[in-house]
Every structure is written in C-alpha cells, then in structure tokens.
Amino acid sequence: MSLNSPLISIAITTFDRKELLIETLNSIINQNINDFEILVGNDNIDRFIDSGFTGINNNRIKYINNKQNLGEWENLRNLYRISIGKYFVSISDDDLFAPDFFNQTVEAIKKNHFPDCVYTSWTSSFGLFNLDHNINESKKIEDQGTLLKLYLRGDIKILGNSGVIKKDFLGKYGGIQKWNSLAYADTYLALLVLIKSKSPVYLVDPLIYFRNHNQSLSSELISLDDWITSQIEFINNSKNLIKSANMGNYSFFLIIKNYCINSFFHRMYKLKHSNIFLVKSYISLIFSFFSGPSLFVRTLLLIYFIIQTVKLYVKIIIKLIKSI
C-alpha cells in the first residue's frame, strides 16, 4: 500500500503531555514498519503542536490541533473520521507500544487473511512489557467463541480502542460511537467488536504498556457518582448489545460482575469510602437491571455482592489496625 492509503492508521489523543507524547511517538516510529499514518489529536487549545514542538520530523505524522477541547473520546472519534488506513488503532499520549507490536499485529493480519481485528494483551508493569517477544512463539487465540467467553469472564486483558480494527468492519456498527460519560467507552467497544466479529485474533503477549499514574483516567480520583454514571451508560448499552446477540442473562451477569461490581468496590477502597448506605444504594441500582432474569442469576448476583462487601470492610479494618 502507498502512503496515501496505509495499512494502519494510528491515532494518538493528547493534552499537554509533551514528554510522554514524544515517548509514545517514538514507540511507533522506531518500529520496523512503514505502512502506516499517525494522527495526533491535540486538545490543548492554548498550545499549537507540530514537528517543531515534538522535535520529530516524520512525514507520516499529521498533527490535528482542535479548535476546542473535545475531550479524549470525542477527540478519538474525530481522528477515526479523518483516518484513511485499512485498519485503525489508537493509544493515549501516556501509553506505549512494545517494540514489536506492529510486527506481531501485521504478521497476524497477513497470516489470518485480514481479520476484523487483532487485539493484544497489555500490562502496567514496565518490566513485563519490556521483555523480548518472538513472533514465531507468540501465543494467540483465533476462535471467536473462546475469545468472547474469556473476555466476559475477565480472563484476558483488552484495551478496547487499542485493538487493530478493520475500519470497514467498525463502520458497519457506527464507527467509534459517541459516549457521554467519563469512562467505559473502550470497554464497550471491545465487547462490541468481540460480539460482532467473525474473525477476531488475540495475541497473548502484553504488547501495550498502560502507564498507571496520577493523571490517568484509571487512576485519577473520579468521583464515585461520575464512575457510577459511566457504569449506567455502559450497562444500558451492553444489555441491548447482548440481547441483540441472543447471548442470555448469564453473559450479562458476567459483564456486570467483572467490569462493574469489581470496579465499584475497587474504587470504594481506593477513594477510602466505607459508607454502607452507598453500597446498599449501588446494590439496588444493579439489581434494577436484573428485573427479568431467573432466580438463579439474581441469587448469584446477591452472593457476589455479599462476598465483595465483606472483603471491602475486612480490608478497611486491616488497614485501620495497621495504622494504629
């Protein structure tokens, strides 16, 4: 393919993180591939960025300076709309691709006759991320049913927007869909792709370094109210998606358990909340989405809530004892 029609469009959303952005760009251009374009969407309206700003001169990089702060997800949607590659992948300005990310994903694309998507695992451990990988030894999962089951159970790690996804395939389902809340857009995207795709590929190696720091969306102190609002949007969209795919109530239960309830209790502990009334309110909210399912599913849900609530308060008590 020519530069005018690259195999892969790589989108980077950025806001005022010069040094981290440069690291992210270098993690791409230092790889042994040429068939790509890089789109950098800048949301900082007070700072114009270009090759002079980053110090990286590469004609494959296009800088898009937004006239207003679109927010990370809307910024990503804009980059998707203007991308021209056969495949689309994105990464935030604080994360990194492994040195052989594109070697492995392009190899998987060619060996699997241009599948709908190629996802890889990720890690927040730089030591694990920095290991040498070998294309011929890389483990992969190609069966859609197996891959979806593993994702529903939370047994594999996927960043929804960091998969190498065929743009024509994604376009059938509205492209990068609009999202109104602060979180969970990428989680829903992964679920959508894995349900709709007939030919997904998953590389087991952790080929993305997800940098966990105080300013990242996963780490910053988003209020529980905002987090729950995001969960509601995710749950409503997921419920409709699972229903349209005739997947049943147990699949919906797994999504709620692994991607909502676990996250809620993790944030409760992280934000040092111990309000039992908040827990009770959250339980009622989640149960409101299960008015129709069988007694078995609702019983599973109740048991899981009891276990997580007990674990939360045990952790809080242990922490208090250690502080004395």
Please tell me whether the overall predicted TM-score, pTM, comes out greater than 0.85 for this model.
yes
CA distances to 224, 249, 268, 270, 281 from 275, rounded to whole Å, are 12, 30, 9, 13, 10
Q: What's the rounded Cα separation, in Å, for the pair 173 and 311? A: 39
Which pLDDT belongs to residue 130?
Answer: 59
SS3 label, residue 94: coil
Q: Which of 17-21, 39-43, 274-278, 304-308 is modeled with the greatest confidence? A: 39-43
Apex 66 CA angle, 65 and 67, nearest 5: 115
Least confident of 176-180, 182-186, 308-312: 308-312
User: What does the pLDDT average to over 3-23?
Assistant: 91
Of 50 and 276, which is predicted with more confidence?
50
In the predicted model, what is the mean pLDDT of residues 5-29?
Answer: 95
Q: Is the pLDDT of residue 215 over 70?
A: no
Is the model more confident about 215 or about 62? Answer: 62
Helix (H) or strand (E) holding 226: helix 224-244
Q: pLDDT tens digit string along 222-275? A: 778 888 999 999 999 999 999 999 998 889 999 999 999 999 998 888 777 778
In tens, the pLDDT along 121-159 reads: 999 876 655 555 544 445 788 889 999 999 999 999 999
Contacts of 151 (CB under 8 A, 6+ apart): 158, 190, 191, 194
Query: pLDDT: is 316 or 289 the higher one?
Result: 289
The predicted pLDDT at position 77 comes to: 97
Q: Tell me which residue of 55, 56, 58, 76 sits closest to 66, measured CA to CA.
A: 76
User: Would you place residue 36 in the very low, low, confident or very high pLDDT band (cuts 50, 70, 90)?
Assistant: very high
Q: Of 123-132, 156-165, 207-216, where does mean pLDDT reach its minimum? A: 123-132
Query: What confidence score (pLDDT) does residue 225 get?
Result: 87
- Reply yes or no on whether the pLDDT at 177 is more than 70: yes
What are 92-125's pLDDT values in tens digits?
999 999 999 999 999 999 999 999 999 999 998 7
Instruction: Note whether 246 and 199 are within 8 A (CB).
Output: no
- Residue 165 token pair: 């996804």
For residue 72, what pLDDT is reported? Answer: 92
Residue 40: its pLDDT value, please?
98
CA–CA distance, 306 with 91 (Å, rounded to integer): 37
Q: Are the C-beta atoms of residues 265 and 193 closer than 8 Å to each other? A: no
Question: What is the predicted pLDDT for the residue at 217?
Answer: 54
Contact 181, 229 (CB under 8 A): yes
Contact 142, 222 (CB under 8 A): no
> d(Cα 16, Cα 264) in Å, to the nearest integer?
29
* pLDDT score of 71: 92
What is the pLDDT at residue 297?
82
Cα(296)–Cα(290) distance, rounded to whole angstroms? 11
Query: Which domains does the chain show, CATH number per domain?
Result: 8-209 (3.90.550.10), 224-323 (no CATH)
